[in-house]
Amino acid sequence: MKRKEKDNKIVLMYIMIVILLVVIVVLIDLVALSFKKASKSLEESEDNIDAFTSTVTSSSISSSSFINEERNNQQDFSDLKESLEKVLDISSNNFSSKEIKEETEVKVDNEIDVINSYDVKSYYSNFYAYMSCWLFADWSDQYALQQNCWTDSYGLRRYGNDICIALGSRFGSVIGTRYQITLSNGYSFTAILADVKADCDTDVTNTFRYAGDGTPNIIEVLVDPSYLNYDVLVTGDVGALPEFNHSYVSYISEIS
């Protein structure tokens, strides 16, 4: 009797061992299946990342190609302009523009009467900010002036030959006041007051306001954004034009 009980216990033990082994095998299969699913998800994620990277790279290449093409177009236009000037023997300030004509250099009449002159060399202002000419209320003097202005090939607004500018109130506050601007590189041009900078936006002398990099900005130029020169658009500085050449403002003279 005792032997039979002992045999039954042995059989039961074997059965439990078999059941345990089956459970272990099932668990191993489940772990393996989970691992396969995780691996598949990881591969899909890597494929998605590769596809996204490829898209971004393609977009970057397209953007770079567009920028290079725009630069080439600017260079082609400059080369064409230079060739035509040589053939026709005309001055650059009479070259045809998008609206009327390009007047990149205004000859200042030596007989112009100077009413008041300001020496501003000590400010070392060689940054020329720009603003849109379409920001003024239709009842303002600024708006009325712009109705008689035109846009040159650089995108600068002009009244006759005068470049439209904004100055601090130190130099005057009457819209339509004319000035002769002289730069440190010797370039001079006439300008007209098309807007006045608010005193709260300028220094205590109402002469300048600081640009983003801390450079004093005395002269702000009015432009038509639709025709703005590429170099000016990229740098945010009218000083990028060859006539300005990032030169400092030396004198601002009010003229008749």
Q: Are residues 139 and 176 in the same domain?
A: yes
* pLDDT tens per residue, range 156-172: 999 999 999 999 999 99
Contact (CB, 8 A) for 254 and 173: no
- Who has greater pLDDT, 73 or 135? 135
pLDDT mean across residues, the chain = 79
Residue 206 has pLDDT above 90, yes or no: yes
Q: Are residues 239 and 155 in the same domain?
A: yes
User: Has residue 246 been placed in a domain?
Assistant: yes
User: Has residue 96 been placed in a domain?
Assistant: no
Q: Are residues 55 and 143 in the same domain?
A: no
pLDDT band at 95 (very low <50, low <70, confident <90, very high): very low
Domain count, the chain: 2
Q: Are residues 181 and 218 in the same domain?
A: yes
3-state secondary structure of 101: coil
Q: Are residues 79 and 145 in the same domain?
A: no
Q: Are residues 140 and 70 in the same domain?
A: no
Q: Are residues 148 and 230 in the same domain?
A: yes
* Report for 8-22, 46-60, 64-78, 148-162: range of highest mean pLDDT: 148-162
User: Has residue 171 been placed in a domain?
Assistant: yes
What domain range is 33 assigned to?
1-90
Report, as an integer, the average pLDDT of 111-122: 90
Report, as an integer, the average pLDDT of 79-105: 43
209-236 burial by CB neighbour count: b if 16+ within 10 A, else e? beeeeebbbbbbbbbbeebbbbbbeeee
List all residues 6 or more positions away from 179 whose beta carbon is below 8 Å from its beta carbon.
165, 167, 171, 190, 191, 192, 193, 252, 253, 254, 255
Q: How far is CA 120 from the centre of its chain?
A: 28
Residue 217 has pLDDT above 70, yes or no: yes
